[in-house]
């Protein structure tokens, strides 16, 4: 490959004068672009570009692998002649080969021909249509968005529980002085970073699946994002993979920080998987003038590995949704498809160069931004000393901890007059994590698993507030909200849901909800909302 020999950790060099013409769909398919497309007898819609030889059958070594048991292990082969024409030959199969309804032993193929193997398996010979391929890719990504929306609730519940647990753990570790150990504090900060990024990513995916307008992108320093990703990679990759980097601050693009983080992380994870026996991962960020074909300034993110590399047929399909060469259970085939979708959404593009045995180089070109990068999120706070607390511990929370040391909770004698907060959620894990978080802040907590149980508890004793999940069994959350407010119109009810949207929040507020929390939420958001509603912890009860 043509990768330059400047990958060592040397001073940054600026690439200029790189002119890449805009990609346009050719009107005539290039020679050698014919494909075999499976219509039946195998994975329907699967395609394989025809090289010099393309074997078809049930054997794993065939270029086109079918599942139909009536197809021989090596049933037929398509051979490209010296003049570029294609010829199909039957390989003494059990059940024969047909071309456009006529049984053949050897015949010349043309675009549009239909090839039948045995009584059921059907293939077609086609050439790629760029417009059609882009439309299919868009449809596949929209299907991914719909799937993401459907699973968002359960995923957000898990993320919410993880956030609450990590924040409670941070408080307890600080209380016993364990965070003074540098490695423990660093691990907690990294854990917090991962959870925050996962939470933001969940919201971004949910918004994309519902085709809602997400928050506006902001100027982001690509090097800062790469720093975050690299810190996570070095903790998880192990010593058999060496990481080399080359960038400096100042390469700014307009993007959602989480989406840019996802692009770099997915490329790094893909590189790791390509080097199961170890190797070298190289990441570089540099300027690239005219790289997007319109003469504008650009930023190039380059991720290279020394892994097994890819064949040309795999390289052509590597950005297809759900396409993967990994073993079952090792990959979904969405990582690189997501990279392509996000990069194009930022006005950029991505390409890959790879050869078997020589590794791969992924290049992502993004439009440069002349504005200054937005400040790095304070939650990360990578500059804190090893004895400092993670973001979970704010000044307000530190004050609560101080009060807890002398509060009645320490002696096990909570005031009976302090009304509890009622947590209504059908997930026991979420109940337990929220209860732990609220109890740690000095509140009393009761729980309910469905709407009827919640109504019964409120009738028996008015709580200080209700945290109400909207996706409940027995009774829908909005019906429970209505019933609770019929019992007590002044009851502070805070709704929670993994299916978040501005329209839904507005409707809930019109129905009487005093606040809404989009799962997964952090402790700071919950405590701020409770303080706004004047729901005080036991230590501050009047």
Q: What confidence score (pLDDT) does residue 433 get?
A: 80
Average pLDDT of span 200-215: 53
Rg (CA), the chain: 29
Q: What confidence score (pLDDT) does residue 453 get?
A: 93
CA atoms of 431 and 446, how far apart (whole Å): 9
279-289 and 106-109: which strand pairing? unpaired
Q: What confidence score (pLDDT) does residue 389 get?
A: 31
Q: What confidence score (pLDDT) does residue 132 get?
A: 66
pLDDT in tens, 30-43: 666 889 999 999 88
- The SS3 of residue 203 is helix
Q: What confidence score (pLDDT) does residue 7 get?
A: 46
- Nearest 5°: the CA angle 103, 104, 108 is 130
Nearest partner of 539 among 461, 467, 440, 470, judged by Cα? 440
H helix or E strand, kind and range, residue 485: helix 477-487
- On the question of pLDDT at 15 being above 50, the answer is no
User: Which has the higher per-residue pLDDT, 327 or 389?
Assistant: 327
Query: Of the ranges 4-8, 35-39, 41-45, 206-210, which one carries the lowest mean pLDDT score?
Result: 4-8
User: Which has the higher per-residue pLDDT, 435 or 188?
Assistant: 435
Torsion over CA: 502, 504, 505, 506 (sign): positive
Average pLDDT of span 435-447: 86
Query: Of the ranges 327-331, 420-424, 470-474, 523-527, which one carries the lowest mean pLDDT score?
Result: 327-331
What are the tokens at 441? 């802040």
Tally of CA atoms within 13 A in the half-sphere of 502 that contains its CB = 6
User: Which has the higher per-residue pLDDT, 256 or 97?
Assistant: 97
Query: Of the ranges 102-116, 171-185, 422-436, 504-518, which one carries the lowest mean pLDDT score?
Result: 171-185
Contact status, residue 79 vs residue 86, Cβ threshold 8 Å: yes
What are the tokens at 97? 């080969």
Query: Of the ranges 17-26, 311-320, 502-511, which one carries the lowest mean pLDDT score?
Result: 17-26
Residue 497's pLDDT band, with cuts at 50, 70 and 90, is confident
- On the question of pLDDT at 416 being above 70, the answer is no
Percent of the chain scoring above 70 in pLDDT: 70
Average pLDDT of span 350-379: 82
Q: What confidence score (pLDDT) does residue 390 get?
A: 35
- On the question of pLDDT at 123 being above 70, the answer is yes
Residue 329's pLDDT band, with cuts at 50, 70 and 90, is very low
CA atoms of 67 and 319, how far apart (whole Å): 25
What are the tokens at 116? 């039948």
User: Which has the higher per-residue pLDDT, 428 or 5?
Assistant: 428
CA atoms of 90 and 76, how far apart (whole Å): 4
Give the list of residues 6+ apart from residue 36 with CB closer than 8 angstroms, or none: 47, 48, 50, 54, 56, 64, 78, 115, 123, 124, 125
Q: What confidence score (pLDDT) does residue 71 get?
A: 95
Residue 181's pLDDT band, with cuts at 50, 70 and 90, is low
User: Which has the higher per-residue pLDDT, 537 or 60?
Assistant: 60
Q: What confidence score (pLDDT) does residue 262 get?
A: 86
**Taking the chain, what is the end-to-end CA distance rounded to the nearest angstrom?**
72
Specify which of 146-150, 164-168, 224-228, 322-326 reaches the highest per-range mean pLDDT: 224-228
- On the question of pLDDT at 103 being above 90, the answer is yes
Q: What confidence score (pLDDT) does residue 21 get?
A: 39
Q: What confidence score (pLDDT) does residue 44 get?
A: 86
- On the question of pLDDT at 501 being above 80, the answer is no
pTM for this one?
0.47
Average pLDDT of span 167-181: 75
CA atoms of 340 and 385, how far apart (whole Å): 38
Residue 70's CB: how many other CB atoms inside 10 A? 17
Q: What confidence score (pLDDT) does residue 189 get?
A: 73
Specify which of 102-116, 179-193, 466-480 reaches the highest per-range mean pLDDT: 102-116
Cis peptide before 520 (omega within 30 of 0): yes
Percent of the chain scoring above 90 in pLDDT: 30
Q: What is the mean pLDDT of the chain?
A: 77
Write phi, then psi, for 96 (nearest 5 degrees): 85, 165
Q: What confidence score (pLDDT) does residue 303 get?
A: 94
Nearest partner of 280 among 310, 244, 245, 232, judged by Cα? 244
Torsion over CA: 178, 182, 183, 187 (sign): positive
Please list the residues that pair with 350 across neighbouring strands: 364
- On the question of pLDDT at 455 being above 90, the answer is yes
Residue 291's pLDDT band, with cuts at 50, 70 and 90, is low
Contact status, residue 152 vs residue 499, Cβ threshold 8 Å: yes
Residue 432's pLDDT band, with cuts at 50, 70 and 90, is confident
Average pLDDT of span 215-222: 83
């Amino acid at each position: 490959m043509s990768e330059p020999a400047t990958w060592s950790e040397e001073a940054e060099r600026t690439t200029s004068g790189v002119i890449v013409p805009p990609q346009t769909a050719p009107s005539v398919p290039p020679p050698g672009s014919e494909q075999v497309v499976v219509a039946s007898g195998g994975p329907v819609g699967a395609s394989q570009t025809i090289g010099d030889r393309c074997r078809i059958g049930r054997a794993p070594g065939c270029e086109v692998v079918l599942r139909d048991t009536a197809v021989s292990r090596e049933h037929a082969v398509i051979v490209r002649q010296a003049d570029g024409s294609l010829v199909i030959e039957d390989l003494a199969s059990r059940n024969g080969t047909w071309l456009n309804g006529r049984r053949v032993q050897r015949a010349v193929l043309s675009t549009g021909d239909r090839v039948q193997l045995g009584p059921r398996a059907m293939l077609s010979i086609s050439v790629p249509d760029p417009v059609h391929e882009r439309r299919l890719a868009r449809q596949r990504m929209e299907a991914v968005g719909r799937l993401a929306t459907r699973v968002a609730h359960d995923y957000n519940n898990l993320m919410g529980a993880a956030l609450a647990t990590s924040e409670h753990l941070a408080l307890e570790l600080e209380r016993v002085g364990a965070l003074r150990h540098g490695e423990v504090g660093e691990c907690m900060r990294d854990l917090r970073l991962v959870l925050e990024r996962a939470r933001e990513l969940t919201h971004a995916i949910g918004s994309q699946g519902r085709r809602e307008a997400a928050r506006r992108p902001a100027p982001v320093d690509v090097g800062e994002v790469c720093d975050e990703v690299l810190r996570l990679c070095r903790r998880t990759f192990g010593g058999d993979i060496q990481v080399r980097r080359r960038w400096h601050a100042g390469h700014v693009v307009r993007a959602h920080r989480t989406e840019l983080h996802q692009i770099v992380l997915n490329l790094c994870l893909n590189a790791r998987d390509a080097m199961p026996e170890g190797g070298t991962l190289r990441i570089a960020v540099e300027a690239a003038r005219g790289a997007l074909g319109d003469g504008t300034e650009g930023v190039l993110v380059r991720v290279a590995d020394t892994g097994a590399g890819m064949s040309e047929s795999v390289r052509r399909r590597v950005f297809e949704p759900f396409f993967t060469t990994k073993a079952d259970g090792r990959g979904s085939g969405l990582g690189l498809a997501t990279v392509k979708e996000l990069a194009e959404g930022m006005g950029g593009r991505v390409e890959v160069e790879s050869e078997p045995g020589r590794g791969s180089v992924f290049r992502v070109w993004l439009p440069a931004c002349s504005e200054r990068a937005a400040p790095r999120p304070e939650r990360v706070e990578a500059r804190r000393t090893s004895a400092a607390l993670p973001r979970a511990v704010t000044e307000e929370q530190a004050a609560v901890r101080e009060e807890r040391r002398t509060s009645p909770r320490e002696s096990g004698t909570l005031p009976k007059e302090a009304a509890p907060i009622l947590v209504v959620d059908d997930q026991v894990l979420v109940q337990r994590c929220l209860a732990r978080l609220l109890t740690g802040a000095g509140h009393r907590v009761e729980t309910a698993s469905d709407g009827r149980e919640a109504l019964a508890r409120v009738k028996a004793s008015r709580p200080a507030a209700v945290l109400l999940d909207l996706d409940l069994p027995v009774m829908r959350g909005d019906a429970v909200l209505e019933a609770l407010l019929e019992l007590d119109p002044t009851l502070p009810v805070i709704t929670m849901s993994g299916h978040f949207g501005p329209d839904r929040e507005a409707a809930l507020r019109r129905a009487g909800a005093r606040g809404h929390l989009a799962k997964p939420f952090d402790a700071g958001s919950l405590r701020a909302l409770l303080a706004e509603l004047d729901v005080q912890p036991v230590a501050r009860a009047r």
